[in-house]
Amino acid sequence: MNQFGGESVTYEGIGATKKWERIESYGPKFVENIVQAIARDILCYAMKTLRHCSIVMHIHDELVIEANPRMSLDAVCEQMGRTPPWANGLILDAAGYTSLYYKKD
């Protein structure tokens, strides 16, 4: 039972005090964490498809690639938007831009 009298899920983990304690959670938080984990796996798959590129860094769902100006941005976006075999049916799309230095779009 939680503080509001309803049922809840708890688990042992490191809390706000940086010590092991019982932490309470709820459905939407589990869904958020699952979605973030899947998004990370999709980004890793995209990084593998672009392993021939010079990936400088990644920020959440974004890759920064240092490339020759003649490299096709459309080709990079097509490769990054490929669906992993384990996510058959998932529709992905990627967009990008070129810049001489890193900046947020």
Give the model's pLDDT for residue 101: 87
State the average pLDDT over residues 63-70: 92
Confidence of residue 27 (pLDDT cuts 50, 70, 90): confident
Cα–Cα distance for residue pair 8/1, rounded to 1 Å:
6
Give the model's pLDDT for residue 51: 92
76: exposed, middle or buried (Cβ count in 10 Å: 0-12, 13-18, 19+): buried
State the average pLDDT over residues 48-72: 92
Residue 41 scores a pLDDT above 80: yes
Give the model's pLDDT for residue 104: 79
Give the model's pLDDT for residue 26: 84
Residue whose pair of structure tokens reads 């967009």 in the numeric block? 95
